[in-house]
Amino acid sequence: MLKSKRTNYKKPRKEPINQKKTFFTKENLFISRMASILMVPKPMIMGIFSSRAVTTIRLNPLKGNVEATKKALEDKEYKLVEIPWAKNCYYVLNYDKSEVSQSLEYQDGKFYIQNLSSILDSLVLDPQEGEYVLDMCAAPGSKTTHIAALMNNKGKILANDIDMSRVSSLKNVLYQFGAKNAKATYSDSAEFGKKYPEYFDRVLLDAPCSGEGMIYMNSQKPLRFWGLDKIKRNSFLQKDLIISAFRTLKTGGTLVYSTCTLEPEENEGVISFLLQHFPNATVEDIDIDLAGEKGFTSKGITKWSGNTFNPAVKKTLRVIPNSKMMGFYIAKIKKN
């Protein structure tokens, strides 16, 4: 017997003619995400990420008199502007990095070309003569050489990196810039907590990150290395590294954690993770006088993507990308 035909069947609804589908590109995602993180309108993001920071140099007291170096550069018509809160550091207003790196003074190690955000790292660490300092992810060596200069080569620095080729370059940099109290090593920093428990007076962990602070939207394919998967992978690695770093600290020691990313998962989320697992970890205020500088904020993100971070992250520092500094995050932690 034949079945009766269905009479209440509804045909699929056709899409209206000329209806446009919305596709989100990687750039759309980046702009939306950065606007949410920085709490600014979307149209402002392209401007924020479309200006390169002015060239900054750090005169090196380990390779001659800094005043003599400054005079030699000014005699070559370098337009130098002193940075009040960073000793021996200057903006170079009339030359870019490639031009400055060709000078004889640079090749002799009398100054280092270094972004001001990176310089801030060592100043917050505040290493002292005679201490034992660990730079966990040291290559290419900018911060290690700065730490050595601040210590006047008195004390010891263990400068480590997990990439053998980068360690080779690191050794050359340490030699070029006279960091005689620094030793370059090749090892997995995540294992240092087991190898060197309660060993160092100060530890710098400038962690591998997504690098939004260095993204320049006017370049070709600026987002080729950026993605949400990378952010997630980095956050797992950073948590392993900060636990290892904290374990290497002596009681009373100081840990500085930094990244050149703006992602909360890689910044405030990592600090909150440390505080959750170590009650003897305390976030300290960053007491460098940054008055007059634009692009800084101490308004740590306490909520993000369904997560609530430790309120202490308000003491950490964010640098919004600007004409002087790349985007950066920095936290200072004490071991009680």
User: Do residues 300 and 238 touch, judged by C-beta distance below 8 A?
Assistant: no
Q: How far apart are CA 189 and CA 240, in angstroms?
A: 9
Q: Which residues of 39-67 are buried (b: 16+ CB within 10 A; e: fewer)?
A: eeeeeebeebbeeebbbbbbbbbbbbebe
Query: How many Cβ atoms sit within 10 Å of the Cβ of residue 74?
Result: 12
| Alpha-carbon torsion (277, 125, 230, 303), positive or negative | positive
Residue with tokens 């306490």: 302
Q: Is 36 helix (H, G, I), strand (E, B) or coil?
A: helix
Q: What is the DSSP string of 33-75?
A: HHHHHHTS-GGGHHHHTS-PPPEEEEE-GGGS-HHHHHHHHHH
Sequence letter at residue 82:
E
Residue with tokens 């940075």: 83
Active site residue 260: yes
Q: How far apart are CA 319 and CA 316, in angstroms?
A: 10
E strand or H helix at 262, and its extent? none
Greatest pairwise CA separation for the chain in angstroms: 107
Q: How far apart are CA 44 and CA 28, in angstroms?
A: 13
Query: How many Cβ atoms sit within 10 Å of the Cβ of residue 27?
Result: 14
| Helices 142-150/164-176 angle, 10° precision | 40
Closest CA to 147 of 161, 168, 132: 132
Which of 89, 137, 209, 260 is catalytic? The answer is 260
Residue with tokens 């500094």: 325
Which positions are catalytic?
Answer: 260
